[in-house]
Amino acid sequence: MLRFKVVEEAFDRKAVPVEIPSERPEQYYGKLVFNRQKMFEYLPKKTYDALIFAIENKEPISREIADSVADGMKRWAIDNGARHYTHWFHPLTDGTAEKHDAFIEHDGKGGVVEEFSGKLLVQQEPDASSFPNGGIRNTFEARGYSAWDISSPAFIMDKTLCIPTIFISYTGESLDYKTPLLRALNAVDKAATGVARYFDADVKHVHSYLGWEQEYFLIDEALYNARPDLVMTGRTLMGHESAKNQQLEDHYFGAIPSRVEAFMLDLEIECHKLGIPAKTRHNEVAPNQFELAPIFEETNLANDHNLLLMSLIAEVARRHNFRVLLHEKPFAGVNGSGKHNNWSLGTDKGVLLFAPGKTPMDNLQFITFVVNVMAAVHRHNGLLKASIMSATNGHRLGANEAPPAIISIFTGSQLAEILDKLEKSTKDELFKLSGKEGLSVGVNQIPEILIDNTDRNRTSPFAFTGNRFEFRAVGSSANCASAMIALNAAVAEQLADFKSKVDARIAKGETLIHSLLEEIKELITSSKPIHFDGNGYSDEWKEEAARRGLDCETSVPKIFDAYLSQSSIDMFQSVGVFSKLELEARNEVKWEMYTKKIQIEARVLGDLAINHIIPVATRYQSILVDNLVKIKSLFNDEKAEKIISQDLITIEKISDHMLIIKEEVDKMVQARKKANRIENEREKAISYHDNVAPCMDVIRYHIDKLELMVDNEMWPLPKYRELLFIR
Ligand code: ADP
Ligand code: MG
């Protein structure tokens, strides 16, 4: 049987040897990246200076410089074996898009020359109609164009020069993730710089930093190919829990299997060649689950690197006869995969704004920024949840060991104590605090206490972890930009608001420190509901969160509504990240994607149920029935009766499960037909959520019961115990 064949093939497989470069990582790091060192080498001095100036000052480059850059870039790419180039962009599907063109142009003499002009470097016109755009294309212009993001370096992947670009419509609406991300990073730069200057007048820019932790599952390719549900949807739509999975908690610190170790090494080498600073790798909690984390980088670059990693990891996995599963919940009953987004802000002078410092003023700055983040997350908690939500992440949130579908902030006890103290200070005390010796009483105690903030609450979706915040609700397959856009934009709005209030106080004659402390105190009080250090997995928290007025919506399509609330629209407009039109268009895409994903899952499950599971269960049942007849002829009535009554129970149970499966599949098909007739994308998605998805749970439940009853020899699909343990 195919199942046994593939299981044997998978279990017999040996580690694939890795080609280890003869050089040390220091030498091959960034080898495939057109970084500053390569720019310096391949560009004329004048071009190099102009390009670096433009990158550092966020300014456009002239056509002449573009031509010169293109020429140098092409020579470097060809020297490194590239034959094609592509504008590499991030459409509204998760993942990346590219259209490869060869460098060749006619030479006018019947041959070709390898050319690449500034025009082709800077701008291209991919067919916008092949990418989701939420109706913007219909309302406006049919065409879209991609334009070079000079802040992210070009790189070579698969012998193709990849140029990071934004993707926008002819009328300027963003059709991708990168455009709004860059806008949000600009907004937070501007707003945070304004506030940071209270503490250091020389600050010119504030950068946003992101360190992602990518979780994933590996599965042997033979087993993967024998599971149509994995191939088509990225997750198992059926499969009874294995008797052993993660309950012994033996995977996390267990030895990494040699096949996996070889894969990880290979992946790490490839990452380093592409300038992705991969640093940490380890087993995760569930069997076959692993994690890779790089050193944090500026958010736009870090996100490009994560997207690149997601392509790379799939490619390297194949070399090792694995398939990588980036789905948030590939297996029921064991942990899902997330992508913690470690996020911070830091000045161009190297000061991390969420890290306590050495002097009272440093610490006042630290408190100022932390409290503003809390206020922004509080005000936009529904939106932040929407920013990480998807059909796939919806399976993970609220499930096994995943953050709940409610956004709250964990601060840890030391920070909580300080906030509490500030909040309880009377006007007089604040006034004293803002005096010289006063500062030493309150705010400067922070460095000693916070240095070792190892207190980690894994149940919190948004945790303060010493010098950064960790947004843990982000899904493993997501483009981090979605979360980073919402977070940086919301914090930008909050900081701008804070600054205008502090400035107003100063204008009235209050001192800077006193103004800051007063405003901080107000924010601590008003954002209290978002602060929760308890167990986020508990049912009591769900009730408590509702009482606190936090967004507790659990229906994925309805969670997306938060993008179109008045406060979200106002916020995004005020910081120049999204227009209302863009928000509406993007939500159309979100609802459409949700519907499509559930639709595909429902179809695959329906097919598997009817043409894989039911026939096998029927066959097994008929063997049992045949056996009954034989038993009857063999034994005397009394004995036969006893044996038969047992078997009859089994036969009846199998019949019952099959009956329900068939009924539910019918019901699901009807629900789908009904939903498909709905025009409105939001209503359609809701109908899929409310009427189609629940049938899938019922069908699965009964298939999983059959799996336990039907002869193991006959069961067609690899079982969890075979899928989940790499030898
Ligand atoms: P853990 O699993 O304990 O949360 P890891 O070491 O796996 O921690 O990952 C932490 C991630 O956070 C790494 O990518 C690291 O570079 C990143 N990080 C550390 N400090 C900061 C910071 N100030 N801002 C953003 N990311 C950070
Ligand atoms: Mg973490």
The closest ligand to the CA of 295 turns out to be 1
User: Residue 289 region, left (φ>0) first, then alpha (ψ -120 to 50), else beta?
Assistant: beta
* Residue of the CA atom closest to atom 14 of ligand 1: 211
pLDDT of residue 629: 87
Does residue 469 have its Cβ closer than 6 Å to ligand 1? no
Between the CA of 212 and the centroid of ligand 1 the distance, in Å, is 7
Domain ranges for the chain:
2-9+21-176, 186-578, 593-723
Nearest-atom index, ligand 1, CA of 291: 7
Does residue 480 have its Cβ closer than 6 Å to ligand 1? no
Looking at the chain, how many residues does it have?
A: 727
Between the CA of 390 and the centroid of ligand 2 the distance, in Å, is 21
Between the CA of 214 and the centroid of ligand 1 the distance, in Å, is 11
Between the CA of 424 and the centroid of ligand 1 the distance, in Å, is 33
pLDDT of residue 118: 85
Does residue 295 have its Cβ closer than 6 Å to ligand 1? yes
Q: Helix, strand or coil for residue 33?
A: strand
Between the CA of 454 and the centroid of ligand 2 the distance, in Å, is 12
The closest ligand to the CA of 350 turns out to be 1
pLDDT of residue 440: 46
Does residue 467 have its Cβ closer than 6 Å to ligand 1? yes
**166-220 per-position pLDDT tens digit:** 998 878 889 899 999 999 999 999 999 999 999 999 999 999 999 999 999 999 9
pLDDT of residue 139: 46
pLDDT of residue 53: 94
Does residue 459 have its Cβ closer than 6 Å to ligand 1? no
Place of tokens 């749970």: 697
E strand or H helix that includes residue 649: helix 637-676
Superfamily holding 2-9+21-176: Glutamine synthetase, N-terminal domain (3.10.20.70)
Give the per-residue SS3 of 110-148: CCEEECCCHHHHHEECCCHHHCCCCCHHHHCCCCEEEEE
- DSSP secondary structure, 474-495, as one string: -BTTS-THHHHHHHHHHHHHHH
- DSSP secondary structure, 545-601, as one string: HHHTT------HHHHGGGGGSHHHHHHHHHTTS--HHHHHHHHHHHHHHHHHHHHHH
Between the CA of 480 and the centroid of ligand 1 the distance, in Å, is 15
Between the CA of 211 and the centroid of ligand 1 the distance, in Å, is 5
pLDDT of residue 125: 76
- Pick from 185, 212, 290, 296 the residue to mutate for probing ligand 1's pocket: most ligand atoms within 8 Å of its CB: 296
Does residue 211 have its Cβ closer than 6 Å to ligand 1? yes
What stretches in the chain show pLDDT beneath 70? 127-130, 135-143, 246-254, 398-403, 428-456, 727
Between the CA of 340 and the centroid of ligand 1 the distance, in Å, is 9
Which residues fall inside 5 Å of ion ligand 2, going by CB? Answer: 340
Write the CA distances from 99 to 71, 88, 102, 510, integer angstroms: 20, 8, 10, 59
By C-alpha distance, which of 149, 175, 468 is closest to 301?
149
pLDDT of residue 435: 53
Distance CA(471)–CA(340), nearest Å, equals 6
Between the CA of 463 and the centroid of ligand 1 the distance, in Å, is 12
By C-alpha distance, which of 141, 138, 130 is closest to 98?
130
- pTM, rounded to two decimals: 0.94
Does residue 468 have its Cβ closer than 6 Å to ligand 1? yes
pLDDT of residue 136: 62
Given the candidates 3.30.590.10, 3.30.980.10, 1.20.1560.10, 3.40.1080.10, the CATH classification of the domain at 186-578 is: 3.30.590.10
- Pick from 342, 351, 369 the residue to mutate for probing ligand 1's pocket: most ligand atoms within 8 Å of its CB: 342
pLDDT of residue 191: 98
Does residue 251 have its Cβ closer than 6 Å to ligand 1? no
Distance CA(685)–CA(679), nearest Å, equals 10
- DSSP secondary structure, 680-713, as one string: SHHHHHHHIIIIIHHHHHHHHHHHHHHHHHS-TT
Q: Does domain 593-723 have CATH number 1.10.3720.10?
A: no
Between the CA of 342 and the centroid of ligand 1 the distance, in Å, is 6
Does residue 344 have its Cβ closer than 6 Å to ligand 1? yes
pLDDT of residue 226: 97
Between the CA of 419 and the centroid of ligand 2 the distance, in Å, is 24
- Pick from 213, 341, 460 the residue to mutate for probing ligand 1's pocket: most ligand atoms within 8 Å of its CB: 213
* Helix then strand then coil, % of the chain, to nearest 5: 55, 15, 35
Does residue 213 have its Cβ closer than 6 Å to ligand 1? yes
Does residue 280 have its Cβ closer than 6 Å to ligand 1? yes
Write the CA distances from 460 to 107, 380, 473, 611, integer angstroms: 61, 17, 9, 43
* Residue of the CA atom closest to atom 1 of ligand 1: 213
Between the CA of 217 and the centroid of ligand 1 the distance, in Å, is 21
Nearest-atom index, ligand 1, CA of 294: 14
Does residue 696 have its Cβ closer than 6 Å to ligand 1? no
Does residue 622 have its Cβ closer than 6 Å to ligand 1? no
Place of tokens 């987004």: 341
Q: Do 358 and 447 meet the contact criterion of CB atoms below 8 Å apart?
A: yes
